[in-house]
């Protein structure tokens, strides 16, 4: 849907003309490697997508924020001086949580009418929620008169909104890459310090194929928060037995093994082992990608999938089926689940001239195993949050 069509829909809902209308957007993401370690002080290696969430916005001169979306009948009207009252909303709590956190940080929130349209598939594990949050923050700050946006601060405030307002105890990665992605680049982000670098995403004769399992994305608040709690328990065991670590990812595997006998619960040790080995894999992946060794990069993706499947237990039958099919097909250098897991998407590094055949064979074999038809996406590395200036 074009920006002009969205503006027409906006006016049909809110009235007026397009004179003061502004448009903002922020991308979804895939994470190449470094899964479930952002909240354990590790490095992650995400890429912003060309799929985005768009916010059409205009001040309304009132003490209220109005929300509407192109694919939902829901309409929300929230009072700016009562933003703590909307945490229960089925749709709208992410946006109003962002407004609340911006307000708490001292930013002026002006009354406005907001209209949302997304091309990031919902429920696919491509971080549609973070892109909504970051696009909302970009819109609200801009309407409030902020001329030079601090996108690092935006990412932190959006994460805080999801943690404290919505109640999902996520790490920083999704909001950070949505805010600060760079076209044609991946980002290596140290989640402990928020230091980051861009890495050119040059896969040579390969491309990334995203397979949506179309299984319900079961990354519920309970499951995600449970994994985080298990990591905290593992870290506590280590520190109660002589360790002095702030994060699991400060350790290497040799150091972790010295504490293995202190774990009465083998499951907690496996959670820690995933974090420690995934941190090492992520750092190595950046090295081999920079050197152009795509085959070695793909092998690290395979190892990462095995770890999150067996040690972290965050995949499920559909993601397992997608991985098993992918690595059996010709032209595939590597494959793994991406995102929080419990449903969602798989990414595969596939030779460009075999990508079409990969999708065809994956569709047949995956459906045979699961009874579900998959969907496929291809996307170059897209730009981070921004105002769309040239829509008129």
The two three-digit tokens of residue 43, written as one number = 């490095």
The answer to whether 135 and 143 are in contact (CB under 8 A) is no
Q: Which of 174, 195, 293, 320 is catalytic?
A: 174
Q: Alpha helix locations (H) across 87-164?
A: 93-104, 128-143, 151-160
> What are the φ and ψ backbone dihedral angles of 34, each rounded to 5 degrees?
105, 55
Would you call 174 a catalytic residue per the annotation? yes
∠ at Cα 28 (25, 29), nearest 5°?
140
Side-chain-facing half-sphere of 51: CA atoms under 13 Å: 21
The two three-digit tokens of residue 308, written as one number = 């999150």
DSSP codes of every residue in 194-252: --EEEEE---TTEEEEEEE--S-----HHHHHHHHHHHHHHHHHHHHTT---SSGGGS-
> What are the φ and ψ backbone dihedral angles of 129, each rounded to 5 degrees?
-65, -45
Q: What is the dihedral sign for C-alpha 248, 300, 34, 293?
A: positive
DSSP codes of every residue in 160-210: HIIIIII-----SHHHHHHHH--TTEEEEEETTT--EEEEE---TTEEEEE
Q: Which residues are catalytic?
A: 174
């Amino acid at each position: 849907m074009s920006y002009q069509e969205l503006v027409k829909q906006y006016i049909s809902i809110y009235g007026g003309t397009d004179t003061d209308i502004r448009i903002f957007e922020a991308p979804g993401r895939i994470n190449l490697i470094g899964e479930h370690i952002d909240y354990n002080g590790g490095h992650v290696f995400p890429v912003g997508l060309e799929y985005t969430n768009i916010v059409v916005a205009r001040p309304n001169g009132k003490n209220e924020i109005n929300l509407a979306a192109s694919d939902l009948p829901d309409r929300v009207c929230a009072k700016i001086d009562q933003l703590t009252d909307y945490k229960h909303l089925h749709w709208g709590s992410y946006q109003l949580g962002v407004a609340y956190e911006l307000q708490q940080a001292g930013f002026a929130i002006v009354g406005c009418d907001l209209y949302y349209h997304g091309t990031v598939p919902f429920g696919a594990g491509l971080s549609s929620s973070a892109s909504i949050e970051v696009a909302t923050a970009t819109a609200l700050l801009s309407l409030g008169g902020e001329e030079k946006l601090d996108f690092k601060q935006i990412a932190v405030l959006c994460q805080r909104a999801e943690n404290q307002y919505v109640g999902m105890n996520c790490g920083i990665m999704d909001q950070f890459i949505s805010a600060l992605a760079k076209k044609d680049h991946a980002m290596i982000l140290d989640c402990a310090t928020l230091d980051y670098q861009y890495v050119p995403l040059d896969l040579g004769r390969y491309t990334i194929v995203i397979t949506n399992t179309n299984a319900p994305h079961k990354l519920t608040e309970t499951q995600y928060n449970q994994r985080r709690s298990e990591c905290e328990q593992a870290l506590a065991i280590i520190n109660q037995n002589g360790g002095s670590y702030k994060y699991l990812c400060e350790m290497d595997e040799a150091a972790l093994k010295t504490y293995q006998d202190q774990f009465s619960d083998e499951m907690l040790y496996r959670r820690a082992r995933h974090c420690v080995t995934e941190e090492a894999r992520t750092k190595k992946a950046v090295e081999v990608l920079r050197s152009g060794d795509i085959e070695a990069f793909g092998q690290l993706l395979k190892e990462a999938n095995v770890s999150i499947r067996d040690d972290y237990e965050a995949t499920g039958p559909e993601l397992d089926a997608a991985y098993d099919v992918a690595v059996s097909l010709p032209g595939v250098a590597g494959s793994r689940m991406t995102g929080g897991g419990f449903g969602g998407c798989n990414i595969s590094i596939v030779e460009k001239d075999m990508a079409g055949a990969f999708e065809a064979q994956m569709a047949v074999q995956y459906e045979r195993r699961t009874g579900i038809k998959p969907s496929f996406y291809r996307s170059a590395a897209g730009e981070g949050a921004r105002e769309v200036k040239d829509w008129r």
